[in-house]
Amino acid sequence: MTSGEHDLAVLLASMRPELVDGEFVFVTTDSVPPGLQPHAMVVEDEGMSLLVTRQQAEERGWAFDFVAAWITLRVHSALDSVGLTAAVSAALAEEGITCNVVAGRFHDHLLVPWERSSDAVRALAALSARGPG
């Protein structure tokens, strides 16, 4: 297995942003309920932040304040690559789109406002076409 791509030009040209079906939210809880498999989990001083579907949060009566669309960058980026997050954030910021990044071992995942998802995908496709700098 390879460790992923490092070259920023290659990362941008081959990032292939893919919109994941569904609406996603962050919730805070003390533990993961039995039977729930969150999409991401971060333990913070304030509690356990879980990334779940909006439906899962509503079914459990969990409060949330940001409904996100999930975009996966399909390129296998190396965990120690430099510049991809900055380039993506800058391109989205130019369009006035907020972005929360969750990195996995193989891919970067972007959480953008649900209502701006098509704008975000379009901005990322334009970034991919023009490359770095």
Please name the fold of domain 8-130: VC0802-like (3.30.2130)
Predicted structure pTM score: 0.91
Q: How far, in Å, CA of 76 to CA of 56, rounded?
A: 29
For position 95, what pLDDT does the model report? 97
| 31-55: pLDDT as tens digits | 999 999 999 999 999 999 999 999 9
Q: How far, in Å, CA of 2 to CA of 87, rounded?
A: 23
Q: How far, in Å, CA of 17 to CA of 12, rounded?
A: 10
Q: How far, in Å, CA of 27 to CA of 92, rounded?
A: 24
